[in-house]
Amino acid sequence: EVQLVESGGGLVQPGGSLRLSCAASGLIFSNYAMSWVRQAPGKGLEWVSAISGGGGSTYYADSVKGRFTISRDTSRNTLYLEMTSLRADDTAIYYCAKDLDYSPGDAFDVWGQGTLVTVSS
Amino acid sequence: IQMTQSPSTLSASVGDRVIITCRASETIDRWLAWYQQKPGKAPKLLIRQASTLMTGVPSRFSGSGSGKQFTLTISSLQPDDFATYYCQQYRTYWTFGQGTKVEIK
């Protein structure tokens, strides 16, 4: 069974930084693109960032471009999201999600349980 | 690409036929998925490529459409189906609709 487990969320002050992790199991991690999707409290889903299976291609939503960095460590089967210059509107549950393909560009068939990031002073 | 779902909220009874509509701001061919999300849970992929049902998803769910207009149909609503449904385009990056909450009438 494929499982994704996020960690690293918490309370951070505006302007601060945080690194999220997503540990994957039950799959050949490098075979699949991965994404981060967030959901503000009581709101809908927003795609944040994606990375190809090999890690060579990355993509970002305009709302986070230049502030967030996605990466992956195949040896650790782990996906990361480095978040800097955090703002109040970054407050959300952050989900990692598995793409159906190696190259980003398909639907997301497996999701983690999410980790909450709260940006507040 | 903007995705617009309608309605935002839908009140229905067990056994009802439910139709949710999703419209794209430009053509996305059939690069569309539907997800179900229950409170406090992660989304679950129901349908991809506009009409391909994922393994394990009950056959009462179906999807149709192409280009800009798509629908998700639940042929006979069951108690487990009360949830929020999202469409998602993946022709150009990924964009979700705002969601449709299916609630008990």
Ordered DSSP codes for B38-68: -TTS--EEEEETTTEEPTT--TTEEEEEETT
Q: Contacts of residue A48 in chain B, CB cutoff 8 Å?
A: none
The answer, for A112 touching chain B at a CB cutoff of 8 Å, is yes
Q: Which residues of chain A, if any, have pLDDT below 50? A: none
CA–CA separation, B23 vs B51, rounded Å? Answer: 15
At residue B95, does pLDDT exceed 90?
yes
Q: Torsion angle of alpha carbons A49, A108, A31, A78, nearest 10°? A: 60
User: Does B86 sit within 8 Å of A45, measured CB to CB?
Assistant: yes
Chain A, nearest residue to B8 by Cα = A44
For B21: left if phi > 0, alpha if psi spans -120 to 50, otherwise beta; the answer is: beta
In sequence order, what are the beta bridge partners of B96?
B88
pLDDT of A65 reads 98
Shortest Cα distance from A76 to chain B (angstroms)?
23
Inter-chain residue contact B48 with A47, CB threshold 8 Å: no
The mean pLDDT of B63-75, rounded to a whole number, is: 98
Any B CB within 8 A of A45 CB: yes
Six-digit token string for B59:
């056959």
User: What is the DSSP pairing of strand B84-89 with strand A115-119?
Assistant: unpaired
Q: What pLDDT shows up at residue A17? A: 98
Contact A36, A115 (CB under 8 A): no
pLDDT of residue A67: 98
pLDDT per position as a tens digit, B1-56: 999 999 999 999 999 999 999 999 999 999 999 999 999 999 999 999 999 999 99
Start-to-end CA span in chain B (Å):
33
What chain A residue is nearest to B5 in terms of C-alpha separation? A44
B45 and chain A in contact, CB less than 8 A = yes
